[in-house]
Amino acid sequence: MNFHTLAASFDAAPGDPFHPAATPIYQTATFEQESPTELGPYDYSRSGNPTRAVLERQLARLERAEHAFAFSSGLAALTAVTRLLAPGDEIVAGSDLYGGSVRLFSRILAGRGVRVRYAEGSDAPAIIAAISPATRLVHVESPTNPLQRVCDIRRVARAAREAGALLCVDNTMLSPYLQNPLELGADVVIHSATKFLCGHSDVTAGAACVRDGALAESLYLIQNGEGAGLAPFESYLLLRGIKTLALRLDRQQESARRIAEFLASRAEVRRVHYLGLGTHPGREVHAAQARGPGAVLSFETGDPRRSEHLLRSLRLFGITVSFGGINSTASLPARMSHASVPPELRARQAPPEDLVRLSIGIEGCDDLIDDLSRGLEAAFGANLAPAEAGA
Ligand SMILES: *Cc1c(COP(=O)(O)O)cnc(C)c1O
């Protein structure tokens, strides 16, 4: 079935006698039982809640999974996956990862006896060479944020399988509309649903999606046993957001393509990182595993102070660390989302100081281009003190 059909057409309230068109928010912590010996399908919302169950069913359909689990954040979903590991196990991770994932691996898990080795995710042989007999989990993002490096998911999946390790792909940047890593051989897909899946910047949520039944049982034990499952109201908001995921992304991606071309044509812009441009080195691998470049792009101005000035001059782009919402946003990753990258990884994954990241929303594209054009003129017309200019 077409993704648009899957997103719009699902059983919003299984078993509900009133047949509501929208999923009710079962805002209840507990459920009465028929008798002490006859238990119903739900007893306690940490263990299961009908609103969350509809969301999880829908996430599984969209991600081409058999089972999905909704968590209180993307990092809670990733944490649940790492609970599958025991002391002595190793993680091999792409070195260009979301900063919070690096903090979890390097600062929290390292203290619990799980070792992590980083290798360049866009270099499949490097990732594969880092796999050892102790490797239990390989974790990658594709494309990465903000530099859009592409990992060959099929190739890494084969190597992980041969080594007896699980491959987990963080699919946040593209969402299930544009890429389904389980179809490429991954064992687990995680999402920060806070980003494109929700799309409205009003929920913090995460998801873990799998096909294997035993893996699903383990993840359910962790979700119920540790208590990080998503609450009913958040589940409702996320379900509502997901209905328009494909519509939003079609528009956001179309605007992102035009904006990338506009930026590439400007003399002030040194380099644009966007998989929708013909010049991107990861383009062929990406085209073989995904259905589009997405709506996040980044570019270099050659001068961190000009980049900062540009951000201050923009009117339609909010300055935020996040991405994926209906409003366009801009950030300086080196100063914002990636400022916490630990020193041992800085050299490998630190974004250039002058890099500007844009997440394109649903506004009129001409208005966004006018705003960027004005912002570039303001930033490059500004008089910077000679000692500081061109840093
Ligand atoms: C935001 C993000 C996360 C973490 O998700 P939260 O919902 O903020 O916990 C993980 N991976 C990627 C790629 C992200 O962008």
pLDDT digits (tens, 9 = 90+) for 105-121: 999 998 899 999 999 99
Cα 75 to averaged position of ligand 1 atoms, centre (Å):
6
pLDDT at residue 348 in the model: 67
- Which range (217-226, 244-253, 277-286, 344-353) has the least confidence? 344-353
**Given the CA of residue 324, which atom of ligand 1 is nearest to it?**
15
Query: Hey, which of 79, 97, 98 would you mutate to test ligand 1's pocket, going by the most ligand atoms within 8 Å of its Cβ?
Result: 98
Of all residues in the chain, what percent carry a pLDDT higher than 70?
96
pLDDT band at 391 (very low <50, low <70, confident <90, very high): very low
Distance CA 171, CA 168 (A): 9
CB within 8 Å of 250: residues ≥ 6 apart: none
Distance CA 223, CA 206 (A): 12
State the DSSP string of 144-167.
-TTT-----HHHHHHHHHHTT-EE
Choose between 227 and 336: higher pLDDT: 227
CB within 8 Å of 104: residues ≥ 6 apart: 75, 78, 79, 82
Task: Give counts: helices (H), strands (E), the chain.
Answer: 14, 12
Write down the mean pLDDT value for the chain. 95
How are the residues of the chain apportioned to helix, strand and coil, as percentages rounded to the nearest 5? 40, 15, 45
Cα 198 to averaged position of ligand 1 atoms, centre (Å):
12
Query: Hey, which of 145, 195, 336 would you mutate to test ligand 1's pocket, going by the most ligand atoms within 8 Å of its Cβ?
Result: 195
3-state DSSP call for residue 126?
helix
Q: Is the pLDDT assigned to residue 340 strictly greater than 70?
A: no
* Catalytic-labelled residue, pool 170, 303, 354, 371: 170
pLDDT at residue 385 in the model: 66
| Token pair listed for 201 | 């910047």
pLDDT at residue 318 in the model: 96
pLDDT at residue 350 in the model: 78
pLDDT at residue 344 in the model: 66
pLDDT digits (tens, 9 = 90+) for 375-388: 999 999 978 766 55
pLDDT at residue 46 in the model: 98
pLDDT at residue 115 in the model: 96
Query: Hey, which of 141, 142, 194 would you mutate to test ligand 1's pocket, going by the most ligand atoms within 8 Å of its Cβ?
Result: 194
Cα 97 to averaged position of ligand 1 atoms, centre (Å):
10
**Given the CA of residue 75, which atom of ligand 1 is nearest to it?**
9
Q: How far is CA 45 from CA 7, 26, 36, 263, 315, in A?
A: 25, 9, 18, 48, 43
Q: Is the pLDDT assigned to residue 195 strictly greater than 80?
A: yes
Closest residue (by CA) to atom 5 of ligand 1? 74
Rounded to two decimals, the pTM is 0.96
Cα 269 to averaged position of ligand 1 atoms, centre (Å):
28
> Within its chain, how far is the Cα of 388 from the centroid?
36
